[in-house]
Structure 1
Amino acid sequence: MAFVGEAFLSAAVEVLLNRIISCEFQDFFHSKKLDFLPLRKLRITLLSLQAVLNDAEERQITNPAVKEWLDELTQAVFDAEDLLDEINTEALRCKLEANSLSQSTTDQTLLLSNCWSLTELPEDIGNLVNLQHLDNSGTRLNKMPKQIATLQNLQTLSTFVISKPQDGLMVGELKNFPRLQGKLSILKLQNVVDPSEAFQANLKNREQIDELALEWDCGTTEDTQTERLVLEQLQPPANLKKLTIKCYGGTSFPNWLGDPAFDNMVHLRISGCDHCWSLPPLGRLVSLKELYISDMKLVKTVDTEFYGSTSPSFQPFPSLVILSFEGMLGWEEWNMIGGTVIEFPSLSDLSLKNCPKLKGTLPTNCPYPIDFELSGCPLLFAMVCPELKESNLHSSIELQSTSNILNLTISGVTSPASLRDGLPTTLKYLTLRNCKKLEFLPHETLNNYTSLKELTIFNSCHSLTSFTLGCLPVLESLSISGCKNLKSISIAENSSPSLSLLQWLSIRSCPELDSFPAGGLLIPNLTTLAMSSCDKLNSLPVPINTLAPLQTLSIQNLPNLESFAQEGLPIRLRSFTVWSRGSFLTTTIGEWGLQKLTCLSSLRIGGDEILNAFMRMKMPLLPTSLVSLSICNSFGIKCLDGKWLQHLTSLEKLEIQCFRQLEFLPEEGLPSTLSVLTIWKCPSLEVSCSNGGKNWPKISHIPCIIINKEVII
């Protein structure tokens, strides 16, 4: 149910905020006697973005235009990063120039983290003779100057870029950093043409280093044997904890990868090694907890070599918790050891993505519950569900025999398939995504799933015409979206105990859904109800006022809904979204009892008819508890009447979006408590609210104004 876009942006904004308040950044502005006003405005902008992102998840669920908004916002954040990188680079250049005058410095740390636009370091960096820590993780350096090899006091070097021989800096010059420790990433290893250079680096004796990313540029392999010898000589120290190998061009891995001497290694990632035919014996790594293998297109079989031994007394992967395979385009078979050996005794998270040729067996004897994601593996899924209609495959496995799967996600199944043989009854969370031709679980088997708490069906199971509530005994959350042929929601006999557990019900984009049971659905503990884009639906599942615990309610685009909340809304409601193109709701707005909802803090309303009805009311309809108000989707309103807003003494955020003709804000002005005003896709209003426009005097007191994702104050 959640989305990652806003989480990433929020983290990026946090990084930017930290950078502009850093001492180095402030010192640079002081040294150049620069105006701090733009810097303060940038900080306000970033703070405003954080405020906007707080509600992004709900917008993404209810408004299809939000993805575009998040994409544009992401680009804006990247642009801000680039600007700060340029300033940071200039500050570094000035710092090094100053150091060049004295040929010495007392500086010990140079921090260049996340300087994405920085591609080179100054040639005179060697003048920082006392430098101990150089952190340039997250940069895109193409080369390093020769002088960096003279920094013998260096202890931390996050990235080491290998230049071509004629350019100077070589991997062998790592020997010039006798005190090097911590994290080390060696990039552009394709420039190492002489394996003796790698031998001179003597990494295996660098016991202070506990983390080694070894990276070649993908698609640059010219000599697979040379790359094999280079990786052989880059054997890391035995106490290594984390290792990444990316785009290695050899046809096999050296013997040290999988050596049980690496008994401290907990994290391993191998990706883009297109020339390798097999996997190393990683099962010997006794402390390995996380293993990620991706984009190895020539690997066809994963067998006993992967586990490290066929001895009945040998235990492979004793500590592995997370195992992920992705983009293994040539992988066909996954062979298990068999017998009494448990291949993955500690596994809790298994992910198989985009392995189109994989068929055969799966781990079935894991002793602990696991989360399992299966995506883009059509042949494997065909054998998980043998009812595949268009397949002539005869070998099969039964996913239900893997009886300890806790969380299962199945996505991207494009062929006709069925879940008729069932799924593990231990499941707690089941997600079906983009599996249009998949047949859902048979009705008569649903009561067997006594652990299933969350069920999500997204753009899947188009053959499903009816869903029966109450058959899944402990279901707490049900989300159905894009189920194109779903016509009805029914209720099972003697379902009261199970319905009392249901807390979340979301039904979206089911155009054929037209009915609920005549008596409604008695769901006494429901806290979230979302209904949208069900064109034929004429009634809600239950009289809204009977849902006393309800806290979140979203009703959108239900054009045939005949009545709504004539008895009032639940008194505990905290968030309410209502939008429709029709006028059916406007006759009962006064009966909703909004002004009595003292817990309501977030309201989102849309559509000309509903908005006009609010503005026509002679008495205030909205509760003074509102903190956030969003009004949207108007085609005809040209002017807002502000009388219905003036009493909102707690309102902090106002969003106006998708008003095609709106030009004038209320003559009375907007509530004085506003801290953020957002205007989006309102062409006439955007002009009049710009600095100097006719609406500017009405909004200039608001600390933060955002117009089309741009902070103007």
Structure 2
Amino acid sequence: MEEIGNEYFLDLASKSLFEQSSDDKSGFVMHNLVNDLATFVSGQFTFRLGVDYSQKIVDQTRHFSYVRRSRYDNFKKFESLCETSRLHTFLPLKLSPGYNFFLLTKRAPLDHLLPKLRYLRVLSLSHYLNMIELPESIGKIKHLRYLNHFSTGIKRLLDSICKLCNLQTLNLSDCKDLSVLPREMRKLINLRHLDINGTAIKEMPMQLANIYSGASIEELRNLANLRGKLSIVDLRNVVSPTDALKACLKDRKYLEELILEWNAMDANISECQIFVLDNLRPHSHLKSLTINNYGAESLSDWVGHHSFSNIVSLHLENCKNCHNLPPLGQLPSLQDLSVVGFEGVVKVDHKFNGRDSSTVKPFEALTILRFEQMLNWEEWSSFGVENEDGAFPQLEKLYIDNCPKLKGGLPVHLPSLAKFEIYKCPQLVASLPRAPVVCELKLGDCNEVLSKELPTKLRKLVIRGFDALESLPKGRVASNNCLQVLEIREFSEQHERDLVTLCIKIGHCPNFVSFPKGGIRAPDLSFFNVSNYESLRSLPEKMHILLPSLDYIKIINCPRIESFSEGGLPSKVKSMDVKGCDKLFARRAGWGLQKLPSLRYFSVGGKYEDVEFFLEPGLLPFCLTQLHISSFPNMKSLDKKGFQDLTSLQELTLWDNPKLEYIPKEGLPTSLSIIEIYKCPLLRKRWQSKKGKERRKIPDADHILIDNKEFIK
């Protein structure tokens, strides 16, 4: 069935009905014109909530999807589903930017909704954090084929789920609180895909043991249709290489991803490890391979063998005793390669590139390369003077991290390189590769030599931990008209040139006292972030004039800053974070934020022990929609006068205010729709009390969350 579906999809892709996403190469998108055609053809059979504004759900609707634009979903969003009796698909389309989880409020009870959707084939409830268990009625959806519970708070699956005799796919991955499966899982006779990655499940139900986990690794030979991804962990338990051979992985031609992992805590390196790895050779159709915590001195010959022409992703991690790297350059389809924790490797030479060939370039398809924690690696010498073998022609991203003994040998010419990161390589003195299209460069805790000749077309530059660096290379930053993001950490530079950049992040610079006199001219700057400046006394001058496009300001742990820029802040500022700035907060009456007509988000906090009541009247503009108040150790109450002015406030978050006990007598603004409270034990106790005056002061917000649990007034 999977093969047929894959053929259909590839056929549609070949006809350009689907196109590979430029943002995510593992995903596909549909061209706008094709999307319009599909929408027209599907007619009333499909409904996309939040997209198809001109349509409505009718009895003929079979497929329902929705875009999650906020963190909360309530019953109002789904009540229109009552108009159809034969829905087949219930599917969230995508995640809203900035949100990693969502909440399905108790006003959207699944036990009322699911019985009306008994013809469902596809049901996805992914990323709902407060989805602790499915209702009993799930067992009545007999036609269900696909159930997605990815990254939910589910703690147990009811036995009724075992009544879903047509279920083919059950995704429980990243359900961290799920520790056991129902006993009657054997009744799911059509189940083909079960994903329990990231769960607390340690063993399968007894009836499934001979199918899924097995008494030994040789039981895998019974899974003739094994496909997709296979992860075998704790391989130290395989004491006989013969058992590994009997697993017959070489015959599993539909297996696409294989993870082989030994125990990192095992101090005893078994001599049979290399023979076990030899006998776990997979089929050459494999696309992704990960080997972790392997303890022998060399990898098996099949790792990197040119017959594995379909390998796209290869991750070799924590093989600490290996002295050499396999000839990986001869894998023609390899795109993503990670080499991590090979502490025995001292030199990477031409053998890494693979067979000598006049027609095949080493690593001809590789786009991402990572070397990390190579603690004894000294030399990378697999290149000629001018890269005459043409290695890495497609390499786009190169990461070298924590290789403290590496001295030289970087590639000379990388024509496709766009992003380059080097961290914790203090002895590396080689010149940066010639990379005509590189746009992002990050250097941290490295030798000053690397910063001498920065590329001129960078869009993002990050420099950290250059203890010996006195200034940025002359003219390189100021004259770069492409630079959009400049981030400097642990540095004492005071730059006097104009910057053409969209983002400045500067932090952890204890000796930085002031910005250049006269200010910083950056007309396109939109994000300004200064953090952990112990000595900085003021912000740049004339910010309202020289930074006209600024819309986000973040000032964190700068205790000596006393005021904002003279003349005020730019009028386009939309978001602000002010935390750990003692002197600045003490002079908050002079902030002048009420003059900012665009300010929508404001976050304030930082161990101000003398504050018992907050917020003062007139401190914030009436146009503010989101307010975050955190880490006030002695604050007892919110000031009613300050909140009465915030007539547009929609979201209020109170975080880590241990003595906060009261809210204003007149209550909070009626415009509030979302209230989130974390680590405010006294306020939580009052609000959760079944009796008491405080409960009557709680506003009628759509969503109230207390310590990640929904609160019903």
Cα distance in 1 for partners of 2:594, 2:450 equals 46
8 Å Cα contact 2:130/2:709 also seen in 1: no
Cα distance in 2 for partners of 1:400, 1:150 equals 54
Aligned to 2:440: 407
Alignment pair present for 1:321 and 2:349:
no
8 Å Cα contact 2:542/2:567 also seen in 1: no
Amino acid at match of 2:439: L
Amino acid at match of 2:290: T
Aligned to 2:195: 135
TM-score, structure 2 normalization: 0.70
Identity of aligned residues (%): 32
Name the SS for the 2:462 alignment partner: strand
Q: Per-residue deviation at 1:350?
A: 0.8
Q: Per-residue displacement from partner, 1:152-173 (whole Å, max 9, x unpaired)? A: xxxxxxxx546xxxxxx23232
Amino acid at match of 1:261: S
Pairs within 5 Å for 1:457-536: 457-458=488-489, 460-461=490-491, 463-464=492-493, 466-470=494-498, 472=499, 474-490=500-516, 499-514=522-537, 522-531=546-555, 533-536=557-560
Cα distance in 2 for partners of 1:262, 1:22 equals 47
Pairs within 5 Å for 1:15-30: none
Pairs within 5 Å for 1:106-125: 112-114=172-174, 116=176
8 Å Cα contact 1:161/1:187 also seen in 2: no
Cα distance in 1 for partners of 2:707, 2:516 equals 44
Amino acid at match of 2:626: S
8 Å Cα contact 1:182/1:209 also seen in 2: yes
Name the SS for the 1:210 alignment partner: strand
Pairs within 5 Å for 1:176-575: 176-220=222-266, 224-339=270-385, 340-380=388-428, 383=429, 397-399=430-432, 401=434, 405-413=438-446, 417=448, 421-458=452-489, 460-461=490-491, 463-464=492-493, 466-470=494-498, 472=499, 474-490=500-516, 499-514=522-537, 522-531=546-555, 533-537=557-561, 540-541=564-565, 543-544=567-568, 547-554=570-577
In structure 2, relative to structure 1, the CA distance for the partners of 1:201 and 1:124 (3 Å cut) is: farther
Q: Per-residue displacement from partner, 1:258-287 (whole Å, max 9, x unpaired)? A: 222222211111112233221111111111
Alignment pair present for 1:13 and 2:113:
no
Q: Per-residue deviation at 1:530?
A: 3.8
TM-score, structure 1 normalization: 0.70
Q: Per-residue deviation at 1:374?
A: 1.4
Q: How many residues align?
A: 587
Cα distance in 1 for partners of 2:301, 2:666 equals 78
Q: Per-residue deviation at 1:654?
A: 2.4
Pairs within 5 Å for 1:94-173: 112-114=172-174, 116=176, 131-139=191-199, 142=202, 148=208, 161=213, 169-173=215-219
Q: Per-residue deviation at 1:348?
A: 0.8
8 Å Cα contact 2:325/2:348 also seen in 1: yes
In structure 2, relative to structure 1, the CA distance for the partners of 1:449 and 1:611 (3 Å cut) is: farther
Cα distance in 1 for partners of 2:199, 2:679 equals 36
Cα distance in 1 for partners of 2:103, 2:710 equals 19
Amino acid at match of 2:548: P
Aligned to 1:389: none
Aligned to 1:627: 625
Cα distance in 2 for partners of 1:186, 1:16 equals 35
Pairs within 5 Å for 1:522-671: 522-531=546-555, 533-537=557-561, 540-541=564-565, 543-544=567-568, 547-554=570-577, 580-582=584-586, 584-586=587-589, 588=590, 593-594=594-595, 599-604=598-603, 615=616, 624-631=622-629, 638-646=636-644, 648-657=646-655, 663-671=661-669
Amino acid at match of 1:655: T
Q: Per-residue deviation at 1:338?
A: 0.9
In structure 2, relative to structure 1, the CA distance for the partners of 1:291 and 1:8 (3 Å cut) is: farther
In structure 2, relative to structure 1, the CA distance for the partners of 1:441 and 1:645 (3 Å cut) is: closer
Name the SS for the 2:329 alignment partner: helix
Pairwise CA RMSD of aligned residues?
4.5
Cα distance in 1 for partners of 2:609, 2:635 equals 7
Structure 2 residues not aligned, in runs of 5+? 1-70, 72-94, 119-127, 134-149
Name the SS for the 1:244 alignment partner: strand
Aligned to 2:27: none
Q: Per-residue deviation at 1:447?
A: 4.1
Name the SS for the 2:275 alignment partner: helix
Cα distance in 2 for partners of 1:8, 1:220 equals 42
Q: Per-residue displacement from partner, 1:669-711 (whole Å, max 9, x unpaired)? A: 2223333334455565454444134422211744544456665
8 Å Cα contact 1:240/1:265 also seen in 2: yes
Name the SS for the 1:359 alignment partner: coil
Cα distance in 1 for partners of 2:473, 2:129 equals 59
Cα distance in 2 for partners of 1:425, 1:240 equals 41
Q: Per-residue deviation at 1:145?
A: 7.3
Cα distance in 2 for partners of 1:663, 1:688 equals 7
Q: Per-residue displacement from partner, 1:327-383 (whole Å, max 9, x unpaired)? A: 222322211231512221111111112222222211221112331121222222xx2
8 Å Cα contact 2:439/2:460 also seen in 1: yes
Pairs within 5 Å for 1:52-131: 81=153, 84-85=154-155, 87-88=156-157, 91=158, 112-114=172-174, 116=176, 131=191
In structure 2, relative to structure 1, the CA distance for the partners of 1:22 and 1:268 (3 Å cut) is: farther
Cα distance in 1 for partners of 2:323, 2:463 equals 33
Name the SS for the 1:279 alignment partner: coil
Structure 1 residues not aligned, in runs of 5+? 1-5, 31-39, 46-77, 100-104, 152-159, 163-168, 384-396, 561-579
Cα distance in 1 for partners of 2:103, 2:669 equals 33
In structure 2, relative to structure 1, the CA distance for the partners of 1:21 and 1:709 (3 Å cut) is: closer
Name the SS for the 2:496 alignment partner: strand
